[in-house]
Amino acid sequence: MKNPPALYLEADNVSPDAFAGKTASQIAELHVYEGNTTSTLGTYFEVNGNAGATAADTKIIVKGDVKKVKYLGFKMSAGELVVEGSTDLYAGGWMTGGTMLVKGNAEAFAATGMKGGELVIEGNAGNYLGAAYRGDWRGMSGGKILVKGNCGSDLGMYMLGGEIVINGNIDVHVMTHAEGGRTIIKGNAKSKVGGQLVDGTIIIFGTLEVMMPGYKYVDDVELEVLGTKATFAHFIGDTGERHKKKKGQIIYGNLYKKI
Amino acid sequence: MGRKKYGSLNTLFHRLIRLKEEYTVATIHVNLISGRSIQQGVAIEGGKEKPAYRTAAGLIELDPSDLKKLGAWKSTNVRVTSDYGSVVVKAIETTQGPHPGLAFIPMGPWANSIVDPNTYSTGMPTFKGTPVKVDVAMKEPVLLGIELVQNLCGVK
Amino acid sequence: MTKTVTDVICPFCGTLCDDLEVVVSDDGKQLLEVYNACVIGTEKFLHSQSKDRVTRPRLHQTDGTWKEVSYDDAVEYTAQLLAKAKKPLMYGWSSTNCEAQSVGNEIAEISRACCDNTAAVCHGTTLIAVQDIGIPSCTLGEIKNRADRIIFWGCNPAHAHPRHMSRYSIFPRGFFTGKGQMSRKMVVVDPRVTDTAKMADVHLQIEQGRDYELLNALRVALNNEWLPDVVAGIPKEKIREVADMMKSGRFGIIFFGMGVTQSLSKNHNIDEAIALTKHLNEFTKFSIMPMRGHYNVTGSGEVFAWQFGFPYSVDLTRGFARYNPGDTSSIDLLVRGEIDAMFTIGSDPGAHFPISAVKQIAKVPSVCIDPHLTPTSGVSKLHVPVAFNGVETGGNCYRMDNVPIDCRKVVEPPEGMLTDEQFLTKVRDRLKQLKGVA
Amino acid sequence: MSEYVIKNGHVFDPVQGIKGDKSDVCIKDGKIVAKAGSGAKVIDAQGKTVMAGAVEVHAHIAGPKVNLGRIYRPEDKLFTCTPTRGMERMGGGNSIPTTFKTGYEYAKMGYTTAMEAAMPPLFSRHVHEEIRDTPIIDEGAFPVFGNNWFVMEYLKNREIENTAAYCAWLLRATKGFAIKVVNPGGTEAWAWGLNCLSVNDPVPYFDITPAEIVKGLIEANEYLGLPHSMHIHPNNLGNPGNYTTTLDTLKIAEGFKAKNTFGREQVMHLTHTQFHSYGGDNWGNFESKAKEVMNYVNAHKNLTVDTGNVTLDETTTMTADGPFEHHLTELNHLKWANCDVELETCAGIVPYIYSPSISVCAIQWAIGLELALMAKDPMRCFITTDHPNAGPFTRYPRVIKWLMSAKARETQINAFKHKDKVLSQTSIGTQDREISLYELAQMTRAGPAKSLGLMNICGGLKPGMDADIAVYNFNPDTPVANPEDIEKAFTRAAVVFKSGVEVVRDGEIVSNGHKRTLWVNAKVKENPQVMRDINEKFLKYYSITQANYEALGHHFVPNPYALEVDATQA
C-alpha cells in the first residue's frame, strides 16, 4: 500500500484467483473501487513480482496499512494470501480453498459463507465470523478458522460444517441456527450461546455468563479437545427448537466452576 | 404562578441542595434505556427548536429508590455519563415504574449523547441497555435540543 | 364558512389512522380543527400552520447564521453535492410519500449513492430477522375481527401508537370478537410498568436485555422441556402459565417494538419471537407484527424492495444494488467514516442517531430536506423546507401491516413552497444534466 | 408513430392459420396493418421466426407477497444484481426479480402481455404501483374472490345477482381484470389454522362448501360476461392423490356455457395443473395422474388450463393458499412468511429447491411436460411455470426446449438421480410428441389471449390487432442440430415490438415502451343492497374506510386500458 484511500477501498480482486497467470504490471491494472469510482490496484499499491500460472501456485503478501481495505481474499479457491497488518470487512469472504493469514485484526464478516480452505487471524476477529450472508440458511459449510485473539458476536451463524477455534474471548451469540460444524472457545463466553441450535458442537474452556434456558444438563464427560484432556459438563439444546434432526450439543469446560 | 414566589422557592430549594451536596457524594449507576414518550411525540411535532421539546425529552426518569440513593430532589438537573458521552438532563420520578436500577430518557439528542453506538454489525445502535452514572449537577443547564447537538458537533 | 375534509390519513405513526376529519377555511388555506386524531396527530396538523415556519431554503453560514436562497439555488447545490461525492448517503424517506421515494431512488441510482431509511434505527433488525426466518403475519383488521390473545412485547402503544389499541388491537368489537376487550387476553412484556403494561392481564417485567432468553424459555415450555427456576427475572411457573395462555387462544398476535429491536441480541430477539409464533401455529393460529414507527417507513422499504430488491441499507456505489447491514447501514457507514456527503429527507438523524454518527454528518457536505427545524437541519450546510406530506400534499403510504393508504391533501402549502416530490424531480433532472444521462 | 415492415420472416399465427409461410408483417400507428407505406422502416427477418408477442396467463410478478419475497430473500440476489445499462434501470433477483428486471426479461423473451395472478383487493394500490414500475409489458391483475366474506355470504343464499354486482364493484375499486379463486374456502379456514382439502369440506362459520363457491362464481362470471372466465387454483394443492379433488372441481363446470362478447369459450380456467395432477397416497408412491386430468380437459371444451412446469431451480413459492405454504414449511423447514388479509384472503411464501436428485421434484418436472404433450387442443393448454412457484418465468425458453425436443427431455431424464422412479411413476418416457412452432404459438399467444378475452387485441398478427410482435433467431427450415439452440433462440428475441414501438433489438432493451394497465369495467344494474352491505362491512369490520379503499388515482394507474362490459341488461 503506497497511497491509502480517502474513504474505503474494495479490493475483491486481491486474491490468488484474480492474480493467477498475471505479471506485476497486469496485476497493477486490476480494478479496485473507492466509493462509486473505479481505479486500478496500481493507484494504491506498489505491485512487485509475478503471479504463478494458477491460483494454487500463487502467493500474495499484502504490506502496509490496509485497515480500510475490504474484500481481501474474496472468493479465493486456492493459493496463499498473507496480510501483514489489519484489514477491514469480508476478509476471506466466500472462500472455498487455499490459506489466508491476517497478522493483525480482521473486521466483521470475515469468512462469510466459507466453503473450504483455512483462515488464520492472529489478532482479533469482528462480528459474524464464518456466518451466513443475510437471509441465507446455508452458512459456513467447510474449512477451518483460527482466531488467536478475541472474537465479536454472531460467530458461525447458520454454520453447517467446518471448524472454528477462538483462543480468546467471545461476544454474544455463537452458532445461532447452526446445523453442523464445531466451534471451540478457549477463553470466556458471555451469553446467548447456541440459541436455536439444531445440530453442531460448541466447546467452551472458559466461563459462560448466562446459559440459554433451552439447554439441559446431561452428565460430565472426559474429552480430549485440541490435545487438552479435561472433564466437561455436557448439555444438550436448544430444546426450544423443533428438532427434526438429532439434538445439537453444547459442551463447555468446567475448570472455572471448580474454583 | 407569580414569578416572585417561584424565585424564592427556588433559592430555598437551591440552598438545600447545596447543603446536601456538601454532605452526600451523590453518584448512582443505572441501566439506561431510551424510547418514545407521548409528550416527546407531541413536542417533536410542535417544533424541536422550542423549549417544550427540552421539557419533554431533556429529562431522565428514575425510580424513586434510585432518586433517593442519588440524594436528589425531584426535578433536579443531573449529569448522566456513559462510556460514550455525557449530558445534563432534569431528573424526574418515573410515572411508569417501579423499575429500580433502570433509567429512561426519551428518544432524542439528550439520550443520544450517551447511548452505546455499537451495532454488533446489524446497523442498529444499542439504544436500550447502556450503563450510565448519574450525578447531581444542579448548576449546569439543560441545553435546547438543536443547541445541544450543535455544541457537541462544534457547529454554530 | 368552513369545509370539512373526511377520511383524512394521519401522517405520524405506522398506525396510519385514516378516519380523521379536518376542518379548513373556505379558501383551503387555513387548517382550523382536527377530529379523531391522537394528541400527536393533532399537533402535527396544527403545527403545519405555525407562523414562525421556515418557507425558503437556507444556506448555513460559518458564523452560524442562515442565508436564504432560492429553490433553484438549492437544487443546484444538492445536485452538485451528489454529483461530486464518491460515497453519498441518502438517508430518511420515512416521512414522505412513495412517489417522492421513487424519484429519490432514481437520484440514488444516477449518483450511485448509499440509500437507507429510518428502519436503520427502528425495525431494521426486524427485517434482518425476517430474512433469516420469515414472518407469519396478518392485517390489522384480522386482529380486530379475530384475535383473542394480544401480546405487546417491548412496545408501548399507549405512548408510541396512541390509537392502536382502540382501533385495532384491544377494544374494537370485530366479527368474531363481539365482546371487544372482554374477548381478549392482554400480555405485556416490558422492563418498565408502562402505561400499556398497567392495562394488561399479565405483565412480565423482564430483566432488560434478556428478551432472547425469555422467548426461548417460552418455546421450551411449548415443548414441555426442563426450565431453570427463573429466566430473565421471570419465574418458570409464570412462563409456563403464559405459554399455556398463548396456546389456548383461537387467534393470537405478538406486537413488538423498539424494546426488542434495540436491546442486546437485536435481530435475534425478533428471530426467536418469530420462531415462537411459528411454533404456536402447531397449536393454534398465531401472528406477529412489528409496530412500525414513522408513518411511511414501511412504504420506503416496499419501494426500495421492488426497485432494488432490498428493503433498506442499499449500497449502489458499485453501480448495482448491494445489501448487508453492518456494512451498508447508515450508522456503520457514518461511525466508520465511510461517506463523504450526506443527504437527509423526511427524518431527523441529528436527533435520533448516536452523537458519534451525528458528528460525521456535521463534518461532510450535507443537505437536509425537512419542513421542520431539527438538530439535523441545525448541523447541515443546506436546509430545504418543503410542504408537509399528508397535510399539504397527498401520496401513497404503507401502514405497519403493509396496507397501502393514499394520503390526502387538506390545505395548500405556503405560497411558493415545493413538495418533496417536486424538489427531488428538479434535483433529478439537474443531476441527469451534470452526469450526462438521458 | 413510425411505420415498419418485417420482411421475409417465417410467420406463425394461429389467428390467421399461418403455419410458417414467408410473409411480411406491417405496422402502422401501433397496430398491425395489411400494407405499410413506402417510407416504412424495413426489418429483415430472413431465416427467422415471427410470432405475435407472447401472453403470460398466470404469474406472480407484482404485489405484496411478491415484494415480501424480495424483502426476505436477499440471498436470491447476492452477486447477481445488474447495473444501469442504457435504457435499463438497475435490476436484481433470480426467482423474484425487481419490477424493472421483470419487464425487461419478459420483453427480451418476446412476451408483451402478462397477468398478475393474485391481487389481494385490500392491497390493490400496492399491486398497481409495482405494475406501474414494470416497464414495457401490458399487465392486468386478478383480484381474489374465493374466500371473500361478501361472496361467501351471498352464495350461501345463492344470490348470484348480488355476487355479480359485488364482483363488478370490486373489479372497479381495484382496477382488476378477472375473478380469481384460490383454494376456495380453505384460505378462510386457514385464518383459524384449518383448511378445506375437498370441494365438500364446509368452510368454518360461513356454512358453505368450496363447490358452492366455485359454482356460484362461474355463474356470476357468466352473468357479467367478463372477458376472462373464473380462474381457479383448486383445493388440496400439492398433495399426493389430489387429482380426484381436481376432477371434482372441473366437474363443477359441466353444463355451463361461456356467455360473453369477447370470443372466450371456456367457463373455467384451471391454473398450474401440474400441482393438481398427483396420484399415490404418500411421497413414496407419489405418481403422475396427468393422463386422467388431461383426458377430462381434452373432452370438455368449456375448460382451459395452464401447465405450471417445474424448471428444476431454486425458487420462492408464493400463493394465496396460506395453509399449503404452512404445510410446505413444515416439510422443508425453510423460512415461512404469511399474511392473512381481513375479509378477503391470505398469502404465504416459502423458498423451495426443486432438486434433480430428489425423485418427487423429478416426477413433478415430468408431470408438467406430460400435461402439455397430452393436450389435444393447444388453444386450451398454455405454458406457464406459475412463476415463481414451479420455477422463474425466465426459464420459459428451457421449458420450450423440453417440449419441442424429445432428445432434450431424454438428456434431462438420464441426468436424474432417480431416473427409474421418474419412468415408473410417469409416462414421460413414452411421450415422443414434439411441440411444433405453430402449436407453441397457440400455447403461448393465441390460446391465452383468447382465454383472457383479448383475442381481438393481442396474441395474433391479424391487421387491426396491437402490433405486439416477436422475431426470433430460429430458422424453421433448418433442422435443430442441438436442442440448446432452441433455448438460446427463445431466451433473447432478435426484435420485439410492443404496440408498434420497437422495444428490443438483438436481445437488448431499446425502449421502455408505453406500458398499459388492463382492467375490466363491468357495468351492472343499480344494486342498493350490495352498496349497503359494502358500506356496513367497512364501518364494522375493515380496518380502513371505504373512501380510502376505493381510491385509485393517476399515480397508481397512469396508463389504464379498460375493457368495457355492459351487464345492465343481464
Per-residue pLDDT at B8? 59
- Please, which pLDDT band fits residue B15 given cuts at 50, 70 and 90? low
Per-residue pLDDT at D320? 96
CA distance A144 to A101: 12
Q: Which one, of D297, D541, D276, D263, lies nearest residue D386 by Cα?
A: D276
Do D306 and D395 lie in a common domain? Answer: yes
Per-residue pLDDT at A244? 59
**Which spans in D3-112 are helix H?**
64-72, 99-108
C357 near B CB under 8 A: yes
Q: Which residue of C has its CA nearest to B61?
A: C192
- Please, which pLDDT band fits residue B5 given cuts at 50, 70 and 90? very low
Sheet hosting strand C134-138, strand order edge to edge: C134-138, D336-341, D345-353, D314-319
Q: What is the pLDDT of residues A6-64, one digit of tens each?
A: 889 999 999 999 999 999 999 999 999 999 999 999 999 999 999 999 999 999 999 99
Residue C53 located in a structural domain: no
- Please, which pLDDT band fits residue D552 given cuts at 50, 70 and 90? confident
Number of other CB atoms surrounding residue C49 within 10 Å: 15
CATH fold label, B26-153? Barwin-like endoglucanases (2.40.40)
Residue of higher predicted confidence among D203 and A251: D203
Do D121 and D169 lie in a common domain? Answer: yes
Do D227 and D90 lie in a common domain? Answer: yes
B120 near A CB under 8 A: yes
Q: What is the pLDDT of residues D314-365, one digit of tens each?
A: 999 999 999 999 999 999 999 999 999 999 999 999 999 999 999 999 999 9
| Inter-chain touch B48–C120, beta carbons under 8 Å | no
For A87-144, the DSSP string reads: B-TTTTTT--SSEEEESS-B-TTTTTT--SSEEEESS-B-SSTT-PPTT-S----S-E
Residues of A numbered 96-115 whose beta carbons fall under 8 angstroms of chain C's beta carbons: which are they?
108-109
A172 near C CB under 8 A: yes
Amino acid identity at D66: V
Min Cα separation C118/chain A (Å):
19
Cβ pair C113, C321 in contact under 8 A: no
Residue C300 located in a structural domain: yes
Total beta-carbon pairs less than 8 A apart between chain B and chain C: 197
Per-residue pLDDT at A79? 97
| Inter-chain touch B121–A127, beta carbons under 8 Å | yes
CA distance D93 to D99: 10
Chain D positions touching A109 (Cβ under 8 A) are none
CATH number, residue D481: 2.30.40.10
Listed by start position, the domains of chain B span 26-153
- Please, which pLDDT band fits residue B13 given cuts at 50, 70 and 90? low
D334 near A CB under 8 A: yes
pLDDT(D223) > 90: yes
Residue D517 located in a structural domain: no
Per-residue pLDDT at B21? 53
Per-residue pLDDT at C172? 95
CA distance C38 to D351: 41
Residue of higher predicted confidence among D388 and C436: D388
Total beta-carbon pairs less than 8 A apart between chain A and chain B: 14
Could you tell me the residue range of the domain that residue C349 belongs to?
58-121+295-435
| Inter-chain touch B121–A172, beta carbons under 8 Å | no
CA distance D126 to D128: 5
* Maximum separation of any 2 CA atoms in chain B, in Å: 54
| Inter-chain touch B41–C355, beta carbons under 8 Å | no
CA distance D515 to D133: 9
Is residue A220 packed enough to be buried (19+ CB in 10 Å), middle (13-18) or exposed (0-12)? exposed
Q: Which residue of D has its CA nearest to C137?
A: D339
| Inter-chain touch B120–A126, beta carbons under 8 Å | no
CA distance D562 to D516: 10
Per-residue pLDDT at D550? 84
| Inter-chain touch A172–C231, beta carbons under 8 Å | no
A84 near B CB under 8 A: no
Residue D23 located in a structural domain: yes
Residues of B numbered 115-144 whose beta carbons fall under 8 angstroms of chain C's beta carbons: which are they?
115-117, 119-129
Q: Which residue of B has its CA nearest to C61?
A: B156
CA distance C316 to C408: 32
CA distance D88 to D100: 8
Do D244 and D138 lie in a common domain? Answer: yes
Do D494 and D382 lie in a common domain? Answer: no
Mean pLDDT of D122-144: 97
For C216, which of A127, A212, A216 is closest by C-beta distance? A212
In angstroms, the Cα distances linking C393 to A49, A59, C106 are 63, 61, 21
CATH number, residue C326: 3.40.50.740
Residue D521 located in a structural domain: no
Do D405 and D496 lie in a common domain? Answer: no
| Inter-chain touch D75–A244, beta carbons under 8 Å | no
In angstroms, the Cα distances linking D40 to A18, D7, D29 are 50, 11, 11
Q: What is the pLDDT of residues A178-232, one digit of tens each?
A: 988 999 999 999 999 999 988 889 999 999 999 999 998 888 998 888 888 889 9
Q: What is the pLDDT of residues A141-158, one digit of tens each?
A: 999 999 999 999 999 999
pLDDT(D56) > 70: yes
pLDDT(B25) > 70: no
Min Cα separation B134/chain C (Å):
19
A241 near C CB under 8 A: yes
Could you tell me the residue range of the domain that residue D240 belongs to?
54-432
Q: Which residue of B has its CA nearest to A107?
A: B121
Per-residue pLDDT at A200? 87
Chain D positions touching A133 (Cβ under 8 A) are 74-75, 78
Per-residue pLDDT at A252? 35
The 3-state DSSP composition of chain B as helix, strand, coil percent (nearest 5) reads 35, 30, 35
C131 near D CB under 8 A: yes
Chain D positions touching A36 (Cβ under 8 A) are none
pLDDT(A247) > 80: no
Residue C343 located in a structural domain: yes
B41 near C CB under 8 A: yes
Mean pLDDT of D273-278: 98
Q: What is the CA D81 to chain-centroid distance, rounded?
A: 26
Look up residue D54 and give its three cell numbers: 407472447
Min Cα separation B8/chain A (Å):
53
Do D239 and D357 lie in a common domain? Answer: yes
Burial C132-155 (b: 16+ CB within 10 A, else e): bbbbbbbbbbbbbbbbbbbbbbbb
Residue C357 located in a structural domain: yes
C124 near B CB under 8 A: yes
Chain C positions touching B121 (Cβ under 8 A) are 325-327, 332
For C351, which of B85, B108, B122 is closest by C-beta distance? B108
pLDDT digit string (tens) for chain C, length 438 residues: 899 999 999 999 999 999 999 999 998 889 999 999 999 999 999 988 888 899 999 999 999 999 999 999 999 999 999 999 999 999 999 999 999 999 999 999 999 999 999 999 999 999 999 999 999 999 999 999 999 999 999 999 999 999 999 999 999 999 999 898 999 999 999 999 999 999 999 999 999 999 999 999 999 999 999 999 999 999 999 999 999 999 999 999 999 999 999 999 999 999 999 999 999 999 999 999 999 989 999 999 999 999 999 999 999 999 999 999 999 999 999 999 999 999 999 999 999 999 999 999 999 999 999 999 999 999 999 999 999 999 999 999 999 999 999 999 999 999 999 999 999 999 999 999 999 886
Residues of C numbered 273-332 whose beta carbons fall under 8 angstroms of chain A's beta carbons: which are they?
275, 279, 282, 316-319, 323-327
Q: Cell 438517508: give the residue.
A: C91
Do C98 and C196 lie in a common domain? Answer: no
Element (H, E) at D187: helix D186-190
Per-residue pLDDT at C380? 96
Task: Confirm whether pTM is higher than 0.90.
Answer: yes
CA distance A58 to C40: 64
pLDDT(D471) > 50: yes
- Please, which pLDDT band fits residue B3 given cuts at 50, 70 and 90? very low
Min Cα separation A36/chain C (Å):
4
Q: How many domains does chain D have?
A: 2
C152 near B CB under 8 A: no
Residues of B numbered 77-106 whose beta carbons fall under 8 angstroms of chain A's beta carbons: which are they?
none
Chains in contact with chain B (at least 3 beta-carbon pairs closer than 8 A): A, C
Q: Which residue of C has its CA nearest to A217?
A: C226
Residues 6+ apart with CB under 8 A from C153: C188, C189, C190, C211, C254, C255, C256, C257, C259, C260, C273
Mean pLDDT for all residues in chain C: 95
Residue C187 located in a structural domain: yes
Q: What is the pLDDT of residues C278-320, one digit of tens each?
A: 999 999 999 999 999 899 999 999 999 999 999 999 999 999 9
Do D253 and D298 lie in a common domain? Answer: yes
Mutate to test the interface with C, among D71, D324, D533, D550 (most CBs of C within 10 A): D71
Do C236 and C333 lie in a common domain? Answer: no
Residues of C numbered 195-224 whose beta carbons fall under 8 angstroms of chain A's beta carbons: which are they?
210, 212-213, 216-220, 222-223
Helix (H, G, I), strand (E, B) or coil at C340: coil
Do C359 and C426 lie in a common domain? Answer: yes
pLDDT(B113) > 50: yes
Phi, psi of C107 (to 5 degrees): -60, -45
pLDDT(B6) > 80: no
Chain A positions touching D84 (Cβ under 8 A) are none
Q: How many domains does chain C have?
A: 3
Listed by start position, the domains of chain A span 129-259
C86 near A CB under 8 A: yes
Amino acid identity at C12: F
CATH number, residue D133: 3.20.20
pLDDT(D378) > 50: yes
Is residue D537 packed enough to be buried (19+ CB in 10 Å), middle (13-18) or exposed (0-12)? middle
Chain B positions touching A93 (Cβ under 8 A) are none
| Inter-chain touch C62–B156, beta carbons under 8 Å | yes
Do C131 and C275 lie in a common domain? Answer: yes
Per-residue pLDDT at A251? 47
Do C195 and C242 lie in a common domain? Answer: yes
Mean pLDDT for all residues in chain A: 91
Per-residue pLDDT at A258? 33
Structural domain ending residue among the three candidates D490, D509, D528 = D509
Look up residue C309 and give its three cell numbers: 430488491
